Structure 1
Amino acid sequence: MHSPLTRILGAAEHLFIDHALFRYIYLNLHRVSPNMERAAQPSPLHIRAAARRGVKTVINLRGERNCASYLMEKKACEENGIKLINFGITSRAAPAPEQILAFDQLLSEIEYPALMHCKSGADRAGIASALYLLLRENSSFAEAFAQLSLRYGHIRQAKTGILDATLMAYAADAARTNVDFKTWVQDHYDPAEVTRSFHSSRLANIFNDRILDRE
Structure 2
Amino acid sequence: MFRKSKAMKQRRREREAAKGPIDLTTESGRRRARNELVWGDHGFLRTRFQNLHQISPEMWRSNQPSPKQIAEHARERGIRTIINLRGESPKGYYLLEKEACYAHGIELVDFQVFSRDTPTKEKIFQANQLFHSIAYPALMHCKSGADRAGLMSVLYKLLREEAPIEVAQEQLSLKYLHVRQGKTGVLDAVFDVYAAFNAQTPISFLDWVDQYYDRLAIKDAFLKSGAAKMRIDDLLGRE
* TM-score normalised over the length of structure 2: 0.86
Structure 1: any 5+ residue segments left out of the alignment? Answer: none
Counterpart in the other structure of 2:109: 85
Does residue 112 of the first structure (1) align with residue 128 of the second (2)? no
Counterpart in the other structure of 1:8: 31
Counterpart in the other structure of 1:161: 185
Counterpart in the other structure of 1:208: 233
Does residue 22 of the first structure (1) align with residue 45 of the second (2)? yes
What one-letter code is carried by the residue in structure 2 that aligns with 1:182? Answer: L
* C-alpha contact 2:121 2:209 (8 A) present in aligned 1: yes
Matched ranges for 1:165-180 at <5 A: 165-180=189-204
CA–CA distance in 2 between the matches of 1:79 and 1:167?
38
Does residue 68 of the first structure (1) align with residue 79 of the second (2)? no
SS at match of 2:132: helix
Q: Percent identity?
A: 46
SS at match of 1:84: strand
The offset of 1:5, in angstroms, is 2.1
- 2:125 is matched with which residue: 101, 104, 112? 101
CA–CA distance in 2 between the matches of 1:57 and 1:129?
15
* C-alpha contact 2:185 2:228 (8 A) present in aligned 1: no
CA–CA distance in 1 between the matches of 2:54 and 2:180?
21
What one-letter code is carried by the residue in structure 1 that aligns with 2:233? Answer: N
Counterpart in the other structure of 2:54: 31
The offset of 1:138, in angstroms, is 1.4
- 1:130 is matched with which residue: 154, 159, 167? 154
Counterpart in the other structure of 2:175: 151
What one-letter code is carried by the residue in structure 2 that aligns with 1:26? Answer: F
CA root-mean-square deviation: 1.1
The offset of 1:4, in angstroms, is 2.1
* TM-score normalised over the length of structure 1: 0.96
Runs of 4+ aligned residues of structure 1 deviating over 4 Å after TM superposition are none
| Deviation digits for residues 77-110 of structure 1 (CA, Å, limit 9, x no counterpart) | 0000000000000000010111000110111110
CA–CA distance in 2 between the matches of 1:157 and 1:212?
13
SS at match of 2:216: helix
The offset of 1:6, in angstroms, is 2.0
